[in-house]
Amino acid sequence: MRPLKAQEQEEIMEKEIAAREEAAKEEKEVVSKNFIERIIEEDLATGRFDHVMTRFPPEPNGYLHIGHAKSILLNYGLAQKYGGKFNLRFDDTNPTKEKIEFVESIKEDVAWLGADWEDRLFFASDYFEQMYECAVKLIKKGKAYVCDLTAEEIREYRGTLEEPGKESPYRNRSVEENLRLFTEMREGKYADGEKVLRAKIDMASPNINMRDPVIYRVAHMSHHNTGDKWCIYPMYDFAHPIEDAIEGISHSICTLEFEDHRPLYDWVVRECEFPMPPKQIEFAKLYLRNVVTGKRYIKKLVEEGIVDGWDDPRLVSISGLRRRGYTPESIKMFVELAGVSKSQSACDMPMLEYCIREDLKLKRSRLMAVLRPLRLIIDNYPEGQTEYLEIPNNPENPELGSRQVPFSRELYIEQEDFMEVPVKKYFRLFPGNEVRLMGAYFVTCTGVDKDENGEITAVHCTYDPETRGGNCTTRKVKGTIHWVAAETALKATCRLYENIVDEEKGVYNEEDGSLNLNPHSMEVLEDCLLEPAFAGAKAFDSFQFVRNGFFCVDYKDSAPEHLVFNRIVSLKSSFKLPAQNG
């Protein structure tokens, strides 16, 4: 065998490297698939389904929160990945709690997250007639009966986890009697709670959900979608599988609390004889520690005026996060970091804050805003003179360009950037110390002005004209501070947020179940000063305030003549990405 030439050896080596990289890539792709994706791919491979159809099925009884974002993005993402379709469907089977207001807010939230349902917007109430027909079919098959027991008696008859239930004395009514009574229920002949329709399954089942569950109840209430057409309404566990089956949903993705309901889900679609029953798959919810997500608690906060509506920036409702300045991309990143699994776990707010910082840091301009102003007078700078300094909009992203910032004799700096008697390792402005004014000049503090109470009203300094641009190479300074020119400054209001929950006490008071609220969850600063580049900022525009954090223009309270900003997040993070294997 002749020896290989160098070129041939290189070609073989390149092929081996390419093969290894491809194998590693395939292995990584397999590992990265979550358990739901593996189930879907097996169902497609075996022919159980020839398509993927998912849905997000909220009940319109409140606003969505961060936990719902996981379900929305998961269902939409699966449909996208496998070339399928995604539906938005409102499970509006309980008119006592549902409102058009909630329907519209949910539609806005889902669209904002980027989940496109196209023309497939549905309501459970669209299928009430078909659900009624399914119930009639069950009665005719001897699989459902009208029961006169009260709700309390039904609970008593149901039994416990250790003891089987007892059969209702009405369980063996004839098909004809059940059909008549169910028709009369629909016609409004019975009062609320007087009769129910129950599935006839197994009162001795180890799964309590299978012990003849109620599938229809009498409720003389007006419905937001169907008006007064119906006075009987299907129960969720009966309606939901029928909705999925009618729409051709292939994989009904839901959270873990529905795992025990899966046998009933399967029973309903089987006994109603749908040709291609959907498959229910459960995953763990997305939990955030020390936040309020319960609808009744948020409703109370709204009604008592503790928060400014369901979209208050201190809440983790999707509308609240949007108003605060979070982006769809940051929430998608957060959901991806949280992952999809069967194991219940919880995330912390610093992880969500990390995601918004990562999303915004290269996309947004870094402008100067002084939140707590202190006047700075440069005594040796020419009076009446204004010059313009070119400052990059984002030093980490040159594509965002630069801007001209006015500079003059009188400026404003942050109060915390001056200390008359400095503490150890304080490198900002104090008498005799030199600092860099960001993008401008080196200045040295020479004194202060005080009022009759001894409060500092102005700081005096001198500047070195040779240090223009702040990039002097002949000497170094340890402190760099931002500023705003007094004459051209824009006035604004800024809101600084903390968790609305007192984290040391936890979310709920163990004694009475009330919320442990943080009385300092919002600080309003009315006299903030901004550089002119902020002029023209519109609702939802966001910026990095140099050294202060990321801020967003509030869509409710801001006006062109007076901007109001919500702090999205500070610049400092306590969150660290977990170590990656390999």
Query: What CATH number did the domain enclosing 168 receive?
Result: 3.40.50.620
pTM: 0.88
Residue finishing a domain among 304, 334, 360: 360
> Looking at the structure, do residues 347 and 255 belong to the same domain, yes or no?
no
Those residues whose C-beta lies under 8 Å from the C-beta of residue 85, and which sit 6 or more positions away, are 51, 52, 53, 54, 79, 118, 120
Q: What pLDDT sits at residue 581? A: 37
Structure confidence at residue 580 (pLDDT)? 43
CA–CA–CA angle 536, 541, 542 (5° rounding):
120
Position 85 in a domain = yes
For residues 486 and 339, membership in a common domain is answered with: no
Residue 2 located in a structural domain: no
Number of domains present in the structure of the chain: 3
Q: How far is CA 527 from the centre of its chain?
A: 31
Question: What pLDDT score does 574 carry?
Answer: 55
Domain co-membership, 310 together with 438: no
Strands of the sheet with 214-218, listed across from one edge: 144-147, 196-199, 214-218, 232-234
For residue 25, what pLDDT is reported?
A: 54
Buried b (16+ CB within 10 A) or exposed e, 545-567: bbbbbbbbbbeeebeeeebbbbb
Last residue of a domain, one of 231, 266, 283: 283
Same domain, 213 and 337: no
Residue 48 lies inside a defined structural domain of this protein? yes
Q: Is residue 581, in this structure, part of any structural domain at all?
A: no
Is 145 a member of any domain? yes
Which residues, at least 6 apart from 486, have a Cβ–Cβ distance to it below 8 Å? 375, 408, 410, 411, 412
Phi-psi region for residue 244, left (φ > 0), alpha (ψ -120 to 50) or beta?
alpha
CATH number at residue 348: 1.10.1160.10
- The verdict on residue 169 lying in a domain is yes
Divide the 582 residues of the chain into consecutive groups of 10 and give the mean pLDDT of each group.
Answer: 49 54 50 85 95 96 94 97 97 91 96 98 97 98 98 96 95 98 97 97 97 97 93 97 97 95 97 95 93 90 93 96 98 95 90 96 98 98 96 96 97 96 93 96 96 95 92 86 97 97 88 89 97 97 97 96 97 60 35
> Which domain covers residue 116, as residue numbers?
35-283
From 228, 253, 283, the end of a domain falls on 283
Pair (323, 218) in one structural domain: no
pLDDT given for residue 474 in this prediction: 80
Cβ burial, residue 435 (10 Å; 0-12/13-18/19+):
buried
Pair of tokens at residue 165: 């239930």
> Do residues 438 and 326 share a domain?
no
Specify whether the CB–CB gap between 340 and 35 falls below 8 A.
yes
Same domain for 377 and 332: no
Residues 256 and 371 in one domain: no
Tokens of 293: 């997500």
Both 335 and 439 in a single domain?
Answer: no
- 137 with 218, same domain: the answer is yes
- Residue 6's pLDDT is 47
Residues 400 and 546 in one domain: yes
> Is 153 within the bounds of a domain?
yes
CA nearest 461: which of 380, 372, 370? 380
Q: Are residues 90 and 214 in the same domain?
A: yes
What letter does residue 40 receive in the DSSP assignment? H
- Report the phi/psi class of residue 27: left, alpha or beta, with left for phi > 0 and alpha for psi in -120 to 50: alpha
Q: Indicate whether 481 belongs to any domain.
A: yes
